[in-house]
Structures are given as structure tokens and as C-alpha cells.
Amino acid sequence: MKKDAKITQAGFLLEFSKLFYSYEGAEKLEQKIDRKVEQGEMYVYTTDDYELINDYFLWLEALAAMIENKTLDIAFVNELYNYRFFSVTNNPTIQKNELCRFAQYYSSIFFLHKEWVAYRKKHRQPIMYEEYDLSKHPEYNAVLKGK
């Protein structure tokens, strides 16, 4: 890759990370998730955190759109963002109360999940909370049929 292209990509990652932190709820939710992970536990989503998860999903939907329209490649964002992605998409309480409950509104996140899991499996990389994989829900294939 040419030096100019690498500099452009590095600048993009910096700006995209700033976007994440511009969503106040996303940063707060990440802190809650991190505290639980550090304690060896899983974050339990409650409706009190609805606004936080909504901000988090806004950022993930932007990421999904860029992957889907091939503006970004998963390889480019894999190491930096896979924790943020799988810590919410493979979380059973978030699945039950938000993602699967309102699956038709999160089709871009379901699409990104499918793509990212395939990428990580191809490269033999672990997937956070794989035992709770989003694809185990019947809504998963139903939503992806339209994609």
C-alpha cells in the first residue's frame, strides 16, 4: 500500500473513532461493558440503557453501511473495532431486548455480523461470546434474506 493511502486510512480511523465518542451514550455503554468484562462478567442490558444502546447502534450502523457499500474493508477495521461489535451483538440480553426484538430495524447490523464472523473464522480469529452468537436466532436468517 502506498504511503499516502496509509496516511489517509489512518486519518479516517482517527475521525471514525472520534465519531464513536461523539455519541455520549456509546461511550457510556462501552464503559459499562468494559467494567463487566474486567470483572469476568457479561454486561446485562436493561431498558434503562436504551438511549445508550441506541447511540452505540447508530455508530455500528454507520460502520455497517461503509462495509456493505465497500467503502471500507473489514480487514481494515477488524482489530480496532471487533471488541465493540461482538460485545453487543453476541450479548444475549441485548439480543433478546433489542436486536432480535426489533430485527427488521437492525438489518445492517445483522449483515455486518454475518460478514465479520466469516472474516474472523477465515482468519482463525476468536469471536467474543461466540457461544451466544447472534446467528443462532431465527430472526437472523429472516432479516438477511432481504440483503
pLDDT, one tens digit per residue, over 26-39 is: 888 999 999 999 99
Closest CA to 47 of 84, 85, 97: 97
The pLDDT score that the predictor gives to residue 105 is: 93
Residue 123, all three cell numbers: 482468519
Q: What's the pTM?
A: 0.88
1-26 pLDDT per residue, tens: 567 766 777 788 788 888 877 877 88
Q: How far is CA 1 from CA 10, 42, 69, 119, in A?
A: 12, 39, 21, 21
Query: Cβ–Cβ contacts within 10 Å for residue 136, how many?
Result: 11
The 3-class SS string of the chain reads CCHHHHHHHHHHHHHHHHHHHHCHHHHHHHHHHHHHHHCCCCCCCCHHHHHHHHHHHHHHHHHHHHHHCCCCCHHHHHHHHHHHHHHHHCCHHHHHHHHCCCHHHCHHHHHHHHHHHHHHHHCCCCCCCHHHCHHHCHHHHHHHCCC
The values of phi and psi at residue 2, to 5°, are -70, 155
Contact 129, 90 (CB under 8 A): yes
Residue 131, all three cell numbers: 457461544
132-147 pLDDT per residue, tens: 999 999 999 899 986 6
41-94 pLDDT per residue, tens: 999 998 889 888 988 898 899 899 989 998 888 988 899 899 999 999 999 999
Contact 90, 130 (CB under 8 A): yes
